[in-house]
Structure 1
Amino acid sequence: MSYRNQWPTNRLLSTAARLVEHAWNEDLASLGVTHAGVMALDVLQSEGSMTQAQLASQVRVQAQTMGKTLHRLEAHGHVTRSRNERDRRSHVVAISLAGERVLADAARLEQNLLGGSRDSDEQFRDRLVEIIAAHGGARWRREVEDGRSRSHGAATADRGAGALAEGH
């Protein structure tokens, strides 16, 4: 019997999450994006253009951290930034066609990351959402459930649930 078979469930979950995150980051590097970049692109694609501060809030990071992510995305042509017409002190960020393509490529990589069938993936995701809802408090539970109802049955997985679980 393998020693890992004796690990408590929380250790298995934590280890699996770290290993998947490392593999995911390696796969994303081949596309020239980071996990943070994919999360930003995903929000921009689903919610539309917005200011850097709004995007940072949606992804749950500091505006300064988002600035670094957006600089990299802009350098690769994945986003565009233009002066905010309502407030000239800020910029509006939008996903570009190149950003949409890299997001689709990232979704395919993510789909292949865990293996298994679409049905087993959906069951696994449902269980992860239950765990997050049970341990994430009322604020996180509502946001995870809202995100799940919007994306349930969609071809692209909701990467936001991972950020909610990590507290980003």
Structure 2
Amino acid sequence: MPAVDALVCFALYAANRTTTQAYRALLEPWNLTYPQYIALVTLWNDGDQTVGSLGEALQLDSGTLSPMLARLQAAGYVTRTRDGRDERVVTVSLTPRGHELRTELAHVPRCIAQGSGLPDADSARDLIDALHQLTAAMRELRDHPDDAVAAERATRAAS
């Protein structure tokens, strides 16, 4: 067994990469990427969004989000409108064609769920909860690496 197979980080990386590839295969007929798809999902479920709130929801910076939204707009799926009172605020809205995609892509979540090998919705929810906890913990580590290093050293010194 390769050494990387024993690393949590590699297992997450491999699962993420393969899941993204599965989405790519499912979304290819619509010429959509996974980030474009999750932007559409957010708009379908939560309605119009400012670029800022959409970026926050998708955890994407404006340098990544703006070109992606430009491509979705060029494809006719969304519009971007500047606020008349504050030109810095841009609202992203679905076009009628963008709304139609929801029906056309309704099979995607079911295909991913089936392909995941999870036996039921409760198992999926447990995995999602565990991944959210992991994300929060890694965000804490990212934001306070010195605390983690100090705690690890203290644990090592105590043993």
Local SS of the residue matching 1:136: helix
Partner in structure 2 of residue 79 of structure 1? 78
Partner in structure 1 of residue 19 of structure 2? 20
Deviations 1:31-85 (A, max 9, x none): 1211111111122222221222221122111112111111110011110122212
Partner in structure 1 of residue 48 of structure 2? 49
Deviations 1:119-162 (A, max 9, x none): 8241331231232144233798xxxxxxxxxxxxxxxxxxxxxx
Percent identity, aligned pairs only, is 24
Q: 1:105 is aligned with what amino acid? A: E
Which one has a bigger Cα radius of gyration? 2
Which has a greater percent of helix?
Answer: 2
Q: Is 1:35 the equivalent of 2:34?
A: yes
Cα gap change, 1:93/1:116 in structure 2, threshold over 3 Å: closer, same or farther? closer
Cα gap change, 1:9/1:46 in structure 2, threshold over 3 Å: closer, same or farther? same
**In 1, Cα distance between the equivalents of 2:13 and 2:138?**
22
Is the 1:24–1:110 contact (alpha carbons within 8 Å) kept by the matching residues of 2? no
Residues 4-153 of structure 1 correspond to what in structure 2 (within 5 A)?
Answer: 8=6, 10=8, 14-115=13-114, 120-137=119-136
Cα gap change, 1:133/1:61 in structure 2, threshold over 3 Å: closer, same or farther? closer
Cα gap change, 1:137/1:56 in structure 2, threshold over 3 Å: closer, same or farther? closer
Give 1:21 deviation, angstroms.
Answer: 1.4
Cα RMSD between the aligned structures? 3.1
**In 1, Cα distance between the equivalents of 2:33 and 2:19?**
14
Local SS of the residue matching 1:80: strand
Greater RCO, 1 or 2 (C-alpha within 8 Å, sep 6+): 1
